[in-house]
Amino acid sequence: MSADVRLTPMTEAMYHAYFREYQSDPDLCADRSRYAAFVYDPEWVDRYVRRQAERNRLCFAVMDGDEMVGELILRDIEPHARATLSISMKNAACKDRGYGTRAERLAIGYAFDVLDIPALCADALLTNARSRHVLEKVGFEQTGEDGTFAYYRILREKRKEKG
């Protein structure tokens, strides 16, 4: 894992660059019979960017040096209360390299220390063992599940107890 992993605010141009290289992962499709490979469409990306511009979201590029390796979003932000973390890597070459772990740790610190949010939530497909492992590795605890997703939360007070 590179020591230069960082989060930087995502711009419209960065989103286009990200999605030009994005490859969907069939293993992460809840209904495998509905899987379709991602095809870059500039108009779709423009619509996606507009949706991300909601006031209760902060969108970041996960960077390794000068290379964008993923997207991280803090969404459903309720000031001084809670937010939800979402992350994806742009393709298989960016997985299993520690980028997600480092990015999630940075996002936790940002949410707790900069945004003053005491509770950060996340979810992962039940079948996404990699994502679930990373969430637990960085301190999230599972709070429940339904037929499709496992739900997680990390509390600022618990992080401080662990040192």
Higher pLDDT pick, 81 / 35: 81
pLDDT digits (tens, 9 = 90+) for 132-162: 999 999 999 999 999 889 999 999 987 655 5
Please return the burial class of 71, using the count of CB atoms within 10 Å of its CB with bins 0-12, 13-18 and 19+: buried
* pLDDT the model gives residue 148: 87
Using CA atoms, how far apart are residues 51 and 154, in angstroms rounded to an integer?
26
Q: Are 89 and 70 in contact (CB under 8 A)?
A: yes
Closest CA to 129 of 105, 85, 95, 156: 95
Reported as a pLDDT band with limits 50, 70 and 90, residue 4 is confident
**Do residues 120 and 154 make contact, with C-beta atoms less than 8 angstroms apart?**
yes
At 60 the pLDDT is: 97
